[in-house]
Amino acid sequence: MDIGSRLASLREQRGWTQEQTSQSLGISRAALSHYEKNRREPDTDTLAKFADIYQVSIDYLVGRTDNPDSTLDADVRDFAGSIELSDQEILEKFAFSIDGSPLTTEESKMFIAFIRANRSMK
């Protein structure tokens, strides 16, 4: 499913009109129509607004995942935001692991950087 179809489907699932949705986003109804018909692609800020009002991830909107519920938990966002990448002690103190295997310091830094990038897109 393309981005326009996802945007239109999410809006319709909520029973919202294009007028209501465009006002919530701060864009024109015509712009929303162009996005939903794939005539134009939303910029990063607008994409983030869509993700926020529909409560889905940007990855879902752009088709990188079919799971609309893959947004970050608020506790994870707060935790990631409080860690400083330069503080080696914190990285060593927390035992990050995936599938039971501990992450290296470099992998931990990439994990934190990923979450920060994801947060900045919202």
End-to-end CA distance of the chain: 22
Phi, psi values for residue 102, rounded to 5° = -65, 145
66-114 pLDDT, tens digit each = 877 765 566 665 665 665 555 566 666 667 778 888 777 778 777 777 8
Confidence at residue 114, expressed as pLDDT on a 0 to 100 scale: 80
Contact 53, 46 (CB under 8 A): no
Higher pLDDT, 89 or 6: 6
Phi, psi values for residue 85, rounded to 5° = -65, -25
pLDDT band at 15 (very low <50, low <70, confident <90, very high): very high
Domain borders along the chain are 3-61, 74-120
> What is 3-61's CATH number?
1.10.260.40
Q: Tell me the whole-structure pTM to 2 decimals.
A: 0.58
